[in-house]
Amino acid sequence: MTHVGEIALRQRRLVAKTPTLPQAATPPGTRGAILQAGLTLFAEQGFHGSSIRQLAAAVGITTATLYAHYPSKDDVLTELIRIGHEEIWQRLSAAVADVADPTARLRALVGAHVHLHIDHALLAVVVNNELHALHPDQAESALTLRNKCFQLLADTISDGVANRDFDIVDPELAAIAIASMNMRVANWYDPRLSYTPDQLATRYAEYALDIVRARRPI
């Protein structure tokens, strides 16, 4: 039976292969095809490791045609990163929209976070590994969303601490640890594994709760 240990330790950046862009955010026609191809290439090889000739070939067009749709290679990445951040922000904020209880909120956030990293593994890898390739002003709005996502998580934990539901010294540190766990799911999750996305999301939510709920000294 396929198990995590075999899969998590490959040379490839990620196991997933299908470039699933959020459908609503995918432009129609050639523009969309470029985005999908860029997603695949940038996820696998990185932005600087992918050439626009590869990109054009993957789409089945000329490099000149690329430039009829995007003004530069940078802009393809910028667009992907924008879409990625908007998707995550939308999912996380939707997940807790009607949830007040910190424990339930944390469960919802971690669940949504994990699902996102499975549903859009390539996009998550691009977002997490290629942000540095953008010019600062291209990255700005993405960083803003990233911050809001992190605050959602950190505030939830803080609320739980205030509540006495949670007991943890540094909520932000716990938030970062939990987010770190979730983020790497994009790199290793493989549908051939013995748990479904739901099961994985549930377990990770329990891990998160284990961390924040602990009663311990220090």
Partner DNA sequence: AATGAATGAGCTTTCATTCAT
Partner DNA sequence: CATGAATGAAAGCTCATTCAT
Please give the residue ranges that form the binding site for a second copy (CB under 8 A).
3-5, 8-13, 44-49, 129, 131-134, 136, 139, 143, 146-147, 150-151, 154, 169-170, 172-178, 180-181, 183-185, 188, 195, 200, 202-204, 206-207, 210-211, 213-214, 216, 218
134 binds, among DNA, a second copy, none (CB under 5 to 8 A by kind): a second copy
- Does residue number 72 form part of the binding site for DNA (CB under 7 A)? yes
* HSE-up (13 A, CA, CB side) for residue 46: 8
Closest approach of DNA to the CB of residue 132, in Å: 16
Closest approach of DNA to the CB of residue 23, in Å: 19
- Residue type, position 176, single letter: I
The single residue among 3, 10, 18, 71 that binds DNA, judged by CB under 7 A, is: 71
**Residues in Cβ contact with 129 at an 8 Å cutoff, skipping those fewer than 6 apart:** 13, 46
- Residue type, position 210, single letter: D
Closest approach of DNA to the CB of residue 62, in Å: 4
Specify the 3-state DSSP secondary structure of 34.
Answer: helix
Decide if 138 contacts 74 (C-beta within 8 A).
Answer: yes
74-91 burial code (b ≥16 CB/10 A, e <16):
ebbbbbbbbbbbbbbbbb
Of 17, 65, 13, the closest CA to residue 40 belongs to 17
Q: Which is nearer to DNA, 73 or 120 (CB)?
A: 73
Which range touches DNA (CB under 7 A), out of 72-80, 135-143, 165-173, 200-208?
72-80
Specify the 3-state DSSP secondary structure of 14.
Answer: coil
83 binds, among a second copy, DNA, none (CB under 5 to 8 A by kind): none
- Does residue number 194 form part of the binding site for DNA (CB under 7 A)? no
- Does residue number 45 form part of the binding site for DNA (CB under 7 A)? no
- Residue type, position 162, single letter: A
Closest approach of a second copy to the CB of residue 29, in Å: 19
- Does residue number 147 form part of the binding site for DNA (CB under 7 A)? no
CA dist 110 and 74 (Å) reads 31
Which residues are near DNA by CB under 7 A?
A: 29-30, 50-54, 61-69, 71-74
